[in-house]
Amino acid sequence: MRLPEFAPGLVSVEDIRQTEQHIGDSFRATYTVLGLHFPMTFTATEYEQPTRLTTRFEGGMKGTWTWLLEPRGKSTHLTTAMEYEMAGGILGKAMNAVLVERMNEKNAERLLENLKLVSEATP
């Protein structure tokens, strides 16, 4: 529910489905890029509390997004990695190489910065 607070371009999260096991948990999200809206569906495929979460996503692109958490004293180190492929065949691959890959790298950096700010401000 709180992803829009720190994930750049993410404007909404809805249809959240959660279970006790967490594998198969899902939600729909809408990203806005260059004024275009991209609906995406995320489904948890790996869950190892408290250190790992991997989701599969589908929509304007498909792939996996992994979050790794490592306790460090009184803080936590977070690493996030995304593997994806663009829809649209050759045109999608060309657009990815020119624009999307760099934008995703910048958004990942901003996401981590924003998450740090949000988590440190939350009691």
Q: If DSSP codes are grouped into helix, strand and coil, which group holds residue 77?
A: strand
pLDDT for 75 equals 87
- Total tally of structural domains belonging to the chain: 1
DSSP state of 109: H
Q: With a threshold of 0.75, does the pTM exceed it?
A: yes
pLDDT for 65 equals 94
3 vs 93 pLDDT, higher one: 3
DSSP state of 99: I
pLDDT, tens digit, for every residue of 28-68?
999 887 777 889 999 999 999 999 999 999 997 789 999 99
Tokens encoding 96: 């990815």
Please report, for the domain that includes residue 13, its CATH number. Answer: 3.30.530.20
Q: What is the mean pLDDT of the chain?
A: 86
Domain of residue 54, residue span: 3-121
Give yes or no for residue 24 having a pLDDT over 80.
yes
pLDDT for 67 equals 95
Number of H helices, E strands in the chain: 3, 6
User: How far apart are the C-alpha atoms of 53 and 56, rounded to whole Å?
Assistant: 10
